[in-house]
Structure 1
Amino acid sequence: MPRVLRSARLLGVGVLGVTLLGGCVANDPAASHTALTVDSSATDCAVSANEAPAGSIRFTVTNSGDQVTEFYLLADDGLRIVGEAENIGPGLSRDLVVQLDAGSYFTACKPGMTGDGVGKAEFTATKTDAAAAVDVDLAAQIDTANSDYASYVSDQIGQLVTGTDSFAAAYRNGDDDTARGLYASTRVHWERVETIAESFGDLDPKLDLREADLEQGQEWTGWHAIEKDLWPAEAEAGFEAYSTEKRAALTQQLVADTATLHTKVQGVSFTLSQQTNGAIGLLDEVATGKVTGEEETWSHTDLWDFQANVDGARVLYDGVRSILLQTDADLAASLDTEFASLQALLDVQRVGDGFTLYSALTPAEIRALADQVNALGEPLNQLTAALVL
């Protein structure tokens, strides 16, 4: 779900260098972080310090306001997102752990999760002479995990390009039955790597903006604009089907933007914290859109997206699991259990190659899915802190 400030959601691709884990496995990973606090109120975003040594930094964000809030760490241009903690309810706290190179950044909060945010301030990660011994074997595992995930992203976006071409051709030519059949199965490739796709400027809102998130005067393009036209019976009374010209314009833009995304992900590299925070971000997508049925307003194919987000989070987790076993085996066991439990609930809703429409789920089924997302979210939110020492 695109929002303002999501120009580089997954830790700002290209902003951070790869920082290796130390030579010794810490018994208490939190002890290796610089710990800062953030008070997010209705009008301010008060960080306990405006600088910290480069390396692993833990921001504990407490919401003292009366709206759900978000905390952002932005790159030196004030736009690209280096890290974020989302969906922090009033009176609650959440940790954001990031791995920073020396340099200049900005902090900001967004009460209500809309608008430009409040309390934007400069933050500096200072150079340090501290040298950690590098565990060569562990460093190799990290390099492999990062490389494997880069290959996975490239493959998923490649499949998205192919599927989008077929979908767009069917829709443009008026073959709506075929287009409806391709809609959800093509979008899964986007949803599996959504946090990466959101990293590249305005491509995210161009491709995936929901009508409910449109700002005044903003042009609506992408998947959901087409979705509404493909399921007109689910649209509001008085909805008028798009003209042939509008269909052609929407598909041309969709194909072009997807091709641009494919170009941008080639050669992208990742850090360990980018992967772990990416997994957390994908589960946030489930919690804030898919499990609520808000993502696919007209097609009701939310469970396809739900599964794809979980797929992506699981790929990210599996890529770092062997490392986690060395730092926190209990956390790995908990994540194994909770991922399996969530998958079991999703499997119950499978119908052939797809899923039950979200509109057909019972309140009890929705509640069970939501509860299990929360159960997985608790240990998953500890993943970055357990690995980035």
Structure 2
Amino acid sequence: MPRVLRSASLLGLGVLGIGLLSGCVANSPAATHTALTVDSSATDCAVSANEAPTGSIRFSVTNSGDQVTEFYLLAADGLRIVGEAENIGPGLTRDLVVELAEGSYFTACKPGMTGDGVGKAEFTATKTDAAATVDVDLVTQIDTSNTNYASYVSDQIDQLVTGTDAFAAAYSAGDDDTARSLYASTRVHWERVETIAESFGDLDPKLDLREADLEEGQNWTGWHAIEKDLWPQDAEAGFVAYTAEKRAALTEQLVADTATLHEKVQGLTFTLSQQTNGAIGLLDEVATGKVTGEEEAWSHTDLWDFQANVDGAKVLYDGVRPILLKTDADLAAALDTEFGSLQTLLDAQRVDEGFRLYTDLTPAEIRALADQVNALGEPLNQLTVALVL
């Protein structure tokens, strides 16, 4: 939901300063480490083992495919990037060295460096007596977080570009069933990093403006303009379906604006306050648009957006949580509890690989979601003060 004036100050661009419990280490000083190999092909991401002891782990990634590839180590949520090796050309090998705490992770490769990637698999760091204790100082946590959150943003926009291309092609060709099936699942990549996208001035309204927020004489483009045409049964009486020419113009603009967004997020850096305020801003998006059912006025896919905003806020919170545990463990415990409770309510609304339509929710279910958003919002609003002031 566009909030250009608010978000411009909320998430200005600068230098990142957040920490992670685990992350990429350029040259680990550890005396011993676990060495693993990764074969990144066109269709798979084969890691030599699916578990290793905690401490320093080196992944030697060889590209056996015919496209430049990337290797990712993801946190247990499958979203937050713990470490990555990029720009690995065909036939080349690059190392990724990480210091891992005990827990669950995922490995994946991305041939062509676009799309969803291939070969995503579970990976476990197990605690053993022989494993070195992970002791990453604050400076290293900040440096690691800088790289990893920027990579997360870039990855989400990469997937947005790929999904938008497929969506636009289907819609422009008149394949409305396919376009409708791709609408919500593509938009989640936007919603996860929405507060960052909003910081780029008029890109946000061009891509995500709702009809209710149109100003007099303003040209309406983007996702919601197309949404109305895809779900005309919920539009106002007398709504006239778009012409083929208008469809082509809307999709051309959508693809072009998404490509511009992709260019702008390359090389971004952020400050600690921008990270914490970004999490607060994403929950604000939930409270003012998603939980009210105002965002997706015709498709009623608000819960997809709701979950994506929560995903983004949780990734941001997880990044700063190790520092918060040292400064305000009680606040961390409260946030852990409230995030968990909100996720439980969202999980109850899942259907197959998506969610129930917003119009299928009962007033009691909507009220429960709204109350839990408020319950999470209270401690989350304390995050910046706890870490920055």
TM-score, normalised to structure 1's length?
A: 0.68
Distance in 2, Cα, partners of 1:285 & 1:316: 15
Alignment of 1:256-295 (within 5 A): 256-295=256-295
Is the contact between residue 279 and residue 316 of structure 1 (CA under 8 Å) also seen in structure 2?
yes
The one-letter amino acid of 1:363's match is P
Map Cα deviations across residues 229-281 of structure 1 (whole Å, 9 max, x no partner): 00000000000000000000000000000000000000000111111000000
Moved over 4 A (4+): 17-21
Deviations 1:64-103 (A, max 9, x none): xxxxxxxxxxxxxxxxxxxxxxxxxxxxxxxxxxxxxxxx
Offset, 1:146: 2.5
Structure-1 residue corresponding to 2:249: 249
Establish whether residue 347 from structure 1 lines up as the match of residue 347 from structure 2.
yes
Report the equivalent of 2:359. 359
1:4 deviates by: 4.9
Q: What is residue 107 of structure 2 aligned with on the other side?
A: none
Aligned residues with identical type, % of pairs: 85
CA contact (8 A) 1:20 1:139 kept: no
Residue in structure 2 matched with residue 121 of structure 1 by the alignment: none
Q: What is the alpha-carbon distance in structure 2 between the residues aligned to residue 20 and residue 223 of structure 1?
A: 32
Would the aligned equivalents of 2:287 and 2:370 in 1 still touch at CA under 8 Å? yes
Residue 18 of structure 1 deviates from its aligned partner by 5.7
Distance 1:19 1:230, change over 3 A: closer
Please tell me whether the aligned partners of residues 157 and 190 of structure 2 are also in contact (alpha carbons under 8 angstroms): yes
Tell me if the contact between 2:176 and 2:230 (Cα under 8 Å) persists in the aligned partners.
Answer: yes
Q: Given the superposition, is the C-alpha separation of residues 18 and 196 from structure 1 closer, same or farther in structure 2, using an over 3 Å criterion?
A: closer
Checking the alignment, whether the CA contact within 8 Å between 1:291 and 1:302 is kept in structure 2 is yes
Is the contact between residue 277 and residue 384 of structure 2 (CA under 8 Å) also seen in structure 1? yes
Instruction: Give SS of 1:8's match.
Output: helix
Identify if the C-alpha distance between structure 1 residues 322 and 365 changes in structure 2 by more than 3 Å, giving closer, same or farther.
same
Structure 1 residues 145 and 20: CA distance shift in structure 2, 3 A: closer
Partner of 1:234: 234
Residue identity opposite 1:348 in structure 2 = A
Assess if the C-alpha contact under 8 Å between 1:280 and 1:377 holds in 2: yes
Question: Structure 2 counterpart of 1:378, which letter?
Answer: E
| Correspondence 1:362-381 to 2 at 5 A | 362-381=362-381
Q: Distance in 1 between matches of 2:287 and 2:184?
A: 19
Q: What is the match of residue 137 of structure 2? A: 137
Secondary structure of the 2:240 match is coil
Equivalent position of 1:320 in the other structure: 320
Alpha carbons 2:11, 2:274 under 8 Å: kept: yes
TM score, norm. by length of structure 2: 0.68
Note the 1:35-46 alignment, pairs <5 A. none
Aligned to 1:309: 309
Aligned amino acid, residue 167 of structure 1: F
Q: Check conservation: 1:146, 1:272, Cα contact below 8 A.
A: no
Determine if contact 1:6/1:198 at 8 Å carries over to the other structure: no
Amino acid at match of 1:310: V
Structure 2 CA distance for aligned equivalents of residues 253 and 165 of structure 1: 11
Aligned AA (2:327) = T
For 1:308 and 1:319, how far apart are their aligned partners in 2?
17
Contact 2:214 2:220 in 1 (8 A): yes
Aligned position for 1:112? none
Q: Does 1:188 align with 2:193?
A: no
The 1:4–1:271 alpha-carbon spacing in structure 2 relative to 1, beyond 3 Å, is closer
Report the CA distance between 1:209 and its aligned residue. Answer: 0.1
Contact 1:192/1:308 (8 A) holds in 2? yes
State the alpha-carbon separation in 1 of the partners of residues 293 and 243 from structure 2: 28
Distance (whole Å) between structure 1 residues aligned to residue 292 and residue 143 of structure 2: 37
CA distance in 2 between counterparts of 1:197 and 1:160 reads 12
CA distance in 2, matches of 1:152, 1:139: 20
Alignment partner, residue 334 of structure 2 = 334
SS of equivalent residue, structure 2 residue 215: coil
In structure 2, distance between residues paired with 1:239 and 1:184: 22
- Could you tell me how far 1:19 is from its partner in structure 2? 7.0
Q: How many angstroms apart in 2 are the aligned matches of 1:144 and 1:325?
A: 18
Mapped contact 1:283–1:373 kept (Cα < 8 A): yes
Query: Which runs of 5 or more residues in structure 2 are unaligned?
Result: 20-135
- CA spacing shift, 1:354–1:9, aligned 2, 3 Å: farther
1:5 is paired with a residue of what secondary structure?
helix
1:190 alignment partner AA: W
> Secondary structure in 2 aligned to 1:287?
helix
